[in-house]
Amino acid sequence: MIAKIIKAEIVLVLLIITLSCANSQKGEESKVIKSPQKPNIVFILVDDMGWSDVGCYGAEIETPNIDMLANQGIRFTQFYNTAKCNTTRASLLTGLYHQQTEMSRPKVMKNSVTLGEVLRPAGYRTLVSGKHHGTENLVDRGFDHYYGLRDGCCNFWNPGVKRDGEPAPARKTYRYWCDDDTTYHPFTPENRDFYTTDAFTDKALEWLDEPELEEKPFFLYLAYTAPHFPLQAWPEDIAKYEGVYDEGYNAIREARYKRMVQMGLIDPVKNPLPEWDGDDWNALDDLERRKEIRRMEIYAAMIDRLDQNIGRVLNKLKAQGKLENTLIMFASDNGACPDGSIRAKDKSTRLEDFGTVASYETVGQSWATVQNTPLRKWKAFSHEGGIRTPLIVSWPSVIQDTGGFYNQPGHIIDIMPTLVELIGATYPETVDGKPIPPMQGISLLPAFEGKDLVRTDPIYWEYSEGFAIREGNMKAVRLRRANEKEWELYDFSKDENEINDLANERPEKLESLKKKWKEWNEAVYSR
């Protein structure tokens, strides 16, 4: 895509966009689409959601609004995050690798500018509703509004102290909560119908009615906490999935895989379904099986409620006449979460309390494997199950060859350069007189018209359990706890599920990638 901004005295912006199909292999003649003004931008980030957890990526979960975005846009098949919540959010907001921002600890984005600090000077109203997972209030980092959870996770019904007439929130973990320049600790909602997914949307819809948006385009970062644990959902949403998961882990996994193949999302030759190596469903006792079923019913209900709230935003934009010229992107901050340690510490929760304010359940490793179908590993790992996210891009007035797939790799660090190029914003070289790193990613605008991305540098990962580097179709990856000789090597032109390790067959390529990863790792920590 090519965006040309023509400045007149009244600052009228003309975007001339050449668009071909969403699939880069089709190569059809381009179409010229014109947009009379800068687009509104909505980035929706969900939390700990697996790669196959929405309908348009193979799930049995009802996500009609997310599916609609896919049908009127494009779906990336190889888009990446950083494998963890706070680090992905730092890379999204800054366009840098999280190591460059020092976001892991103490969770402050240093040496950087945020999307708010870049887009607001370009004429945008900048808004954040939801989870930040840092120690800064985002109104201090270029955003006109920030409402939501400053921490990593919370009780969906009540992030604060016990309210009269109801049980105390499970696992008493008081969380920081921001409402513009006011920070609460703890935050205890007075509204008994409070539920974080709904509350984040309520606040965003309130902002979309502000008079400032009559004159300015907006950037809305809608950062949901769902479906991160604790597993908590509205009873009516849970009821929709009664019986859906009774057949167990592998039956659901195989059904998802079949749908993914049928829709053309994956090639079964390059993406074979690995042998099941999780828990034996039939070996569970009756109570534990019923608890496992309920855990996944609640998880599905959380995603269902997410979709309902995304539908509220879409309906609002449509009613305002803004939907056609709104660029909407949808992604997850990491792969499915296998954590079972929390529930293992307290097995006393009654089945009838699952999903309520008094419960604090997680899905565990076996359901996380299902959620990541057919990828290896999970959150915090640098194998594909930890780092690959759905990315849906919808822009009704621009993307007209819709419903297809884009198969080249992208990364969350690419969002900043994409938006900078799109709207003609300026990314600074210094902040407060001190140099900051340049943007680390590339613009994704060519992908919007089905063209090849021009990426000259590899993509890198380093977090917790995993290290990795991808250069073209070759990926080297290892576990942190393994020694350096245990790097694995995969050729993604033939093997996207990381099954056929080529480390012994192509040692020279592996050594080259290891050397580049080490040089990168030393550089990003050298500031």
Give the closest residue to 250 by CA, choosing from 278, 271, 288, 285: 278
Lowest mean pLDDT among 65-69, 298-302, 336-340, 410-414: 336-340
Place of tokens 């604790």: 230
Any idea which architecture 15-456 has in CATH? 3-Layer(aba) Sandwich (3.40)
Examine the pLDDT at 13 and tell me if it is beyond 70: no
Tens of pLDDT, residue by residue over 457-510, are 999 999 988 999 999 999 999 998 877 779 999 999 999 999 999 999 999 999
The angle, 0 to 180 degrees and rounded to 10, between the axes of the packed helices 64-71 and 286-319 is 50
State residue 483's pLDDT score.
75
Tens of pLDDT, residue by residue over 344-363, are 666 778 999 999 999 999 99
Give the closest residue to 126 by CA, choosing from 40, 202, 224, 197: 40
Residues of CATH 3.40.720.10 domain(s) within the chain? Answer: 15-456
State residue 135's pLDDT score.
92
Examine the pLDDT at 152 and tell me if it is beyond 50: yes
Given a contact cutoff of 8 angstroms between Cβ atoms, the answer to whether 95 and 439 are in contact is yes
Examine the pLDDT at 172 and tell me if it is beyond 80: no
Q: How confident is the model at residue 18 (pLDDT cuts 50, 70, 90)?
A: very low
Q: How confident is the model at residue 11 (pLDDT cuts 50, 70, 90)?
A: very low
Lowest mean pLDDT among 34-43, 129-138, 380-389: 34-43
User: How would DSSP label each residue in 344-394?
Assistant: HH-----GGGTBSTT-----HHHHHHHHTTT-SS-TT-SSHHHHEEEEEEE
Given a contact cutoff of 8 angstroms between Cβ atoms, the answer to whether 463 and 87 are in contact is yes
Q: How confident is the model at residue 390 (pLDDT cuts 50, 70, 90)?
A: very high
Which tokens belong to 505? 């067959």
Q: Please, which residues have CB within 8 angstroms of residue 215's CB and are 6 or more apart in sequence?
A: none
DSSP summary character for residue 498: S
Given a contact cutoff of 8 angstroms between Cβ atoms, the answer to whether 438 and 489 are in contact is no
Is 383 marked active-site? no
Amino acid at 217: P
Q: CA of 103: how far to CAs of 40, 337, 486, 524, in Å?
A: 28, 20, 28, 12
Examine the pLDDT at 451 and tell me if it is beyond 50: yes
Place of tokens 């080259």: 512
Residues of CATH 3.30.1120.10 domain(s) within the chain? Answer: 459-527
Q: Are strands 474-479 and 466-471 parallel, antiparallel or unpaired?
A: antiparallel
Q: Which run of H or E residues covers position 430?
A: strand 430-431
Distance from C-alpha of 476 to C-alpha of 487, rounded to nearest angstrom: 6
Q: CA of 260: how far to CAs of 67, 171, 244, 256, 272, in Å?
A: 14, 38, 18, 6, 11
The single residue of 21, 56, 132, 133 carrying the catalytic annotation is 133
Give the closest residue to 32 by CA, choosing from 19, 21, 15, 23: 19
3 state SS of 521: helix
Amino acid at 513: L
Q: How confident is the model at residue 15 (pLDDT cuts 50, 70, 90)?
A: very low
Is 132 marked active-site? no
State residue 338's pLDDT score.
96
Examine the pLDDT at 306 and tell me if it is beyond 90: yes
Q: Give mean pLDDT, residues 27-53.
A: 75
Examine the pLDDT at 36 and tell me if it is beyond 90: no
Q: Are strands 388-394 and 73-80 parallel, antiparallel or unpaired?
A: antiparallel
Distance from C-alpha of 303 to C-alpha of 305, rounded to nearest angstrom: 5
Amino acid at 366: S
Examine the pLDDT at 166 and tell me if it is beyond 50: yes
Given a contact cutoff of 8 angstroms between Cβ atoms, the answer to whether 82 and 98 are in contact is yes
Examine the pLDDT at 35 and tell me if it is beyond 90: no
Q: Give mean pLDDT, residues 109-134.
A: 97
Amino acid at 85: C
123-138 burial code (b ≥16 CB/10 A, e <16): ebbbbbbbbbbbeebb
Share of the chain above pLDDT 90, in %: 85
The single residue of 21, 85, 153, 154 carrying the catalytic annotation is 85
Q: How confident is the model at residue 20 (pLDDT cuts 50, 70, 90)?
A: very low
Examine the pLDDT at 134 and tell me if it is beyond 50: yes
State residue 10's pLDDT score.
28
Task: Provide the Cα torsion 151, 156, 162, 165; round to 10°.
Answer: 170
Examine the pLDDT at 8 and tell me if it is beyond 50: no
Distance from C-alpha of 346 to C-alpha of 29, rounded to nearest angstrom: 60
Q: Which of 3.40.1550.10, 3.40.50.2000, 3.30.1120.10, 2.40.37.10 is the CATH number of 459-527?
A: 3.30.1120.10
Share of the chain above pLDDT 70, in %: 92
